[in-house]
């Protein structure tokens, strides 16, 4: 069994998102910690967060997978963007404490010309400044498609970041099926092999969540265009094998497919019908 849900908007608050997830048939969800395009964060109402924290165990929810804004880039060549991103990351860690024991996923970043090695050090430095031993959130590095100068399309790069992070129990990885495929890992013909490689390079104990997306493009395309489940190049059968894979059971799966509410409800039901 896995947990399934989709991205919801946080404008109406935490409890409203929990109820929305349930209305769509989900038992987890993702939300942006602030406007996905960046900017200031909405004020958190502690009682609202608390109501979600009560609703989740009562409804047997899996862990939530918060998402950092897309504008966050802690390894930008521009110093001001780097600093702004580090500040956002730190602030988001304190915000996540209102809904403790969940995940916070972020894109490692784009090196914008600095090169991968420099970027890896910068990402680790940002994490070392933001993570504290008291916090109750696990930060997830997302596997990336490798578009432009993105860091993290290769498992070794994620391993490089993790190696430099001091508080290793606070760090994990989110496995995005579209991104991994676009990054050149053939989850259609060799899902076992890809997971074996993940285990060898990073360790499967770090794989905490899945972004469950089909892809418009071919394996290794580095494009990052998501498709609805079964309507892309990964396809229905391969997507089903991901849901049913023994090594991925118990994890939250988040849909980031191009859908409205009705489409998400349909995909959630479809994934449920595959659950083992």
For binding to Zn ion (CB under 5 A), which residues are involved?
224
Tokens matching residue 30: 């993702």
x-or-dash string of contact with Fe ion, 90-129, rule CB under 5 A: ----------------------------------------
H helical segments located in the chain? 14-23, 46-58, 79-96, 116-130, 155-164, 177-182, 191-201, 236-244, 261-274
CA distances from 249 to 3, 126, 158, 171, 193 (A): 9, 31, 22, 19, 17
By CB under 5 A, tell whether 211 contacts Fe ion. Answer: yes
Instruction: Indicate the pairing of strand 226-227 with strand 214-215.
Output: antiparallel
Output 19 or 112, the one with its CB closest to Fe ion: 112
Query: CA 170, CA 131: separation in Å to the nearest integer?
Result: 7
Output 48 or 142, the one with its CB closest to Fe ion: 142
Closest approach, Cβ 256 to Fe ion, in A, equals: 5
Closest approach, Cβ 67 to Fe ion, in A, equals: 6
Closest approach, Cβ 129 to Zn ion, in A, equals: 26
Tokens matching residue 259: 């859908």
Query: CA 160, CA 86: separation in Å to the nearest integer?
Result: 19
Bridge partners (DSSP) of residue 212 are 255
Output 56 or 75, the one with its CB closest to Zn ion: 75
Output 146 or 172, the one with its CB closest to Zn ion: 146
Closest approach, Cβ 142 to Zn ion, in A, equals: 8
Output 64 or 216, the one with its CB closest to Zn ion: 216
By CB under 5 A, tell whether 224 contacts Fe ion. Answer: no
By CB under 5 A, tell whether 176 contacts Fe ion. Answer: yes
Residue 6: in which H helix or E strand, if any? strand 3-8
Bridge partners (DSSP) of residue 254 are 5, 211
Per DSSP, the residues of 139-189 read EEEEP----TTBS-SSHHHHHHHHHH-S-GGGEEEEEEHHHHHHTT--TTT
Closest approach, Cβ 70 to Zn ion, in A, equals: 10
224 binds, among Fe ion, Zn ion, none (CB under 5 to 8 A by kind): Zn ion
Output 48 or 224, the one with its CB closest to Zn ion: 224
182 binds, among Zn ion, Fe ion, none (CB under 5 to 8 A by kind): none
Question: Where on the chain is the footprint of Fe ion (CB under 5 A)?
Answer: 142, 176, 211
């Amino acid at each position: 069994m896995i947990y399934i849900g989709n991205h919801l908007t946080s404008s109406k608050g935490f409890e409203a998102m929990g109820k929305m997830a349930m209305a769509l048939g989900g038992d987890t969800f993702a939300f942006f910690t602030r406007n996905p395009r960046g900017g200031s964060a909405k004020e958190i109402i502690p009682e609202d967060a608390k109501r979600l924290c009560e609703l989740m165990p009562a409804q047997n929810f899996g862990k939530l997978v918060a998402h950092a804004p897309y504008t966050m880039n802690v390894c930008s060549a521009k110093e001001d963007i780097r600093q702004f991103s580090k500040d956002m990351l730190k602030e988001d860690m304190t915000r996540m404490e209102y809904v403790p024991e969940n995940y916070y996923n972020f894109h490692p970043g784009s090196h914008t010309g600095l090169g991968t090695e420099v970027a890896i050090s910068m990402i680790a430095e940002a994490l070392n400044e933001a993570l504290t031993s008291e916090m109750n959130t696990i930060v997830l590095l997302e596997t990336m498609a490798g578009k432009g100068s993105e860091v993290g399309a290769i498992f070794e790069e994620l391993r490089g970041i993790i190696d430099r992070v001091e508080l290793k129990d606070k760090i994990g990885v989110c496995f995005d099926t579209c991104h991994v495929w676009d990054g050149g890992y053939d989850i259609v013909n060799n899902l076992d092999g890809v997971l074996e490689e993940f285990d060898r390079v990073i360790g499967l104990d770090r794989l905490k969540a899945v972004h469950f997306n089909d892809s418009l493009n071919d394996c290794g395309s580095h494009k990052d265009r998501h498709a609805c489940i079964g309507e892309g190049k990964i396809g229905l059968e391969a997507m089903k094998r991901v849901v049913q894979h023994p090594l991925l059971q118990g994890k939250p799966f988040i849909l980031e497919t191009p859908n409205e509410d009705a489409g998400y409800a349909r995909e959630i039901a479809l994934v449920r019908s595959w659950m083992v």
